[in-house]
Amino acid sequence: MLMTRFNHSEMVIGVPWFSKHNLRRIWLAFATLLIAACQASSEGDVKSQISEQPNILWVMSEDMGPELGAYGTPQVKSPVIDALAKDGMVFEQAFTTAPICSISRSALYTGMYQTSIGAHQHRTLKGDKRPLPVNVALLTDHFRKAGYFTALLTKVSKDEAANTWLNPRAKTDWNFTYEGEPYDSNNIADLKDNQPFFAHVQFAETHRGRDWEDAINKIDHPAEPEKVDIPPYYPDHPIVREDWADYLNAVMAFDLKTGIVLERLKEEGLTDNTIVIVLSDHGRAMVRGKQWLYDSGLHIPLIIYVPEGVELPYGFKRGSRSKQLVSGIDITATTLALGGAYNADGMQGRPFLGGEAQVQDYVYAARDRADETSDYMRTVRSDKFRYIKNFYPDRPYTQFNAYKETEYAPYRLMFRLYNAGMLGPIPSLFFADRKPEEELFDVVKDPHNVKNLANDPAYTGVLADMRGRLADWQEETGDMGRVPEDPAVAIAISKKGMKKRRPQIAELEANEGVWRPDGIPTP
């Protein structure tokens, strides 16, 4: 892999080097040279020139689906990641085991279903978290046993002001306790003298908040709201279009920052033997996305780039796209396998690359309590169908959730339109008084998961098969969500959350009008 060194002498007069003007030069040059270098490589002659154990870098976004140029998303310019995809391997059907950060991350960092290790409730109060089972270890601990140095990078640039601008996250957010330090360092400067390494860097542009709002100021060509493609379960409204454009802008800012990380890796002389894996912790933070078991809440980008200095693992085809199903816990197992650190003991994930690669025909995911909103749902997906079991059908999709009420402007809009009878038939499905007990979608014909086939006689056999597979999975994996949580936990979390968000809710009601006709519930 080749990346250009930034020439400070070319800095725009009066503009700091980390402004969007100069950063744009970095990733444009990086993308151009990376493509040229990879096109010149010969796949059949690749040899391990540096070490039998390659370095591995996770570049993670938060709350992001596969809305990248490499996945064919209009209006998104992502040249850095697209360059990795062009000569790496793009996985088109990668899904996390949960649609919420702490739950999904608990699985990603252990290679275990969160429902098997008691980490399935999102937002565990301090003091209530439990340690991992004795035979389960962190991803980084597996790497350490194999001789790897580990790092969660929050210091990427040599310039402190640039690090502040980059704002890499130090987020772990696990629903379990961990004794000791999960990483050896947070500084990219420590990697060169500590090889092989597993490093992880993450950015929050696609997580709603300050970085999301500021993303438009970091890129040169923001998405145009009037031109974006919006899913059919949203109303075609300016608020929705602007919100979707903001999300795409955040994706582009994530791409920009990825280029800066890779540029620094080049400066440290580490690109020839560092595998780069681009992923997200779960699907996009949108209505009917984050917190939900549809493809929109679980589908993530997954791009793996293997440089010329590393021997290609079994099953890896440079410049290819794969439609094989990948689960989040399989990403964990595969990452370890790429470094020769995989051990099947105490891990449910299985590699999809390397000598121990396995093909998955089905992937599973779960949703339990999200913040103060208690629910219990499970899903299984094949390459053709997604089945969802709603164990609490009497609880509507629109149970109160302070985070969504305050952060999702389209959510409040859709409530108002629904109350006025103006939302439309497909978007209105989400506002029904109760959920169906079962949902079945043909994901090929219906990629947005809006036509429920569970009551269609033509799909009786498919429904029975998927229902049985899900029940078997729950039994085989020891699904701990089958035991209800003490309701007092949700009440305590609700009180804590409302203390923080009630003033914000009052301000939104004053500015926009009431969206819940029965008022905001009191915990």
Alpha-helical segments (H) within 3-78? 20-39
How buried is 60 (Cβ within 10 angstroms: 0-12 exposed, 13-18 middle, 19+ buried)?
buried
What is the token pair recorded at 367?
């949703």
User: For residue 20, what pLDDT band results from cuts at 50, 70 and 90?
Assistant: low
pLDDT recorded at residue 52 = 78
Mean pLDDT of 254-267: 97
Q: Give 478-502 pLDDT, tens digit per residue.
A: 999 999 999 999 999 999 889 889 9
Strands, E, within 185-289: which ranges?
185-187, 197-203, 274-280
Mean pLDDT of 461-465: 98
User: For residue 127, what pLDDT band results from cuts at 50, 70 and 90?
Assistant: confident
Residue 193's contacts (CB-CB under 8 Å, 6 or more residues apart) are none
What is the DSSP-derived secondary structure letter of residue 232?
A: T
SS3 for 323?
strand
* AA identity, residue 141: D
C-alpha to C-alpha distances, 239 to 40, 234, 243, 349, nearest whole angstrom: 46, 11, 6, 40
* AA identity, residue 291: Q
Alpha carbon distance 348, 366 (integer Å): 15
pLDDT recorded at residue 30 = 52
- 88: pLDDT strictly greater than 60: yes
**Averaged confidence pLDDT in the chain:** 91
SS3 for 235?
coil
Mean pLDDT of 452-459: 98
Is there a contact between 170 and 141 (Cβ–Cβ < 8 Å)? no
What is the token pair recorded at 102?
């702490």
- Pick the range with the lowest mean pLDDT from 116-125, 260-269, 296-305: 116-125
Secondary structure of 468-513 in HEC code, one letter for each residue:
HHHHHHHHHCCCHHHCCCCHHHHHHHHHHHHHHHHHHHHHHHHHHC
pLDDT recorded at residue 519 = 87
pLDDT recorded at residue 19 = 53
Domain 8-361 has CATH 3.40.720.10: yes
Place of tokens 């990086």: 30
Phi-psi region of 211 (alpha: psi -120 to 50; beta: other; left: phi over 0): alpha
Sign of dihedral through CA atoms 173, 174, 175, 177? negative
pLDDT recorded at residue 8 = 29
Place of tokens 């078991």: 293
Is there a contact between 187 and 201 (Cβ–Cβ < 8 Å)? no
Sign of dihedral through CA atoms 474, 478, 482, 484? negative
Alpha carbon distance 378, 391 (integer Å): 8
Other beta carbons less than 10 A from residue 395's beta carbon: 16
What is the DSSP-derived secondary structure letter of residue 115?
A: G
Element (H, E) at 363: strand 363-367
pLDDT recorded at residue 24 = 52
Is there a contact between 89 and 318 (Cβ–Cβ < 8 Å)? yes
Place of tokens 């396995």: 358
Other beta carbons less than 10 A from residue 196's beta carbon: 22
Mean pLDDT of 319-328: 98
pLDDT recorded at residue 359 = 93
Stated pTM of the model: 0.90
What is the token pair recorded at 329?
């816990």
Alpha carbon distance 68, 458 (integer Å): 36
Place of tokens 């009008």: 513
User: Phi/psi at 185 (nearest 5 deg)?
Assistant: -160, 165
Mean pLDDT of 221-243: 97
Q: Give 176-211 pLDDT, tens digit per residue.
A: 999 999 999 999 999 999 999 999 999 999 999 999
Residue 197's contacts (CB-CB under 8 Å, 6 or more residues apart) are 55, 56, 148, 149, 150, 151, 191
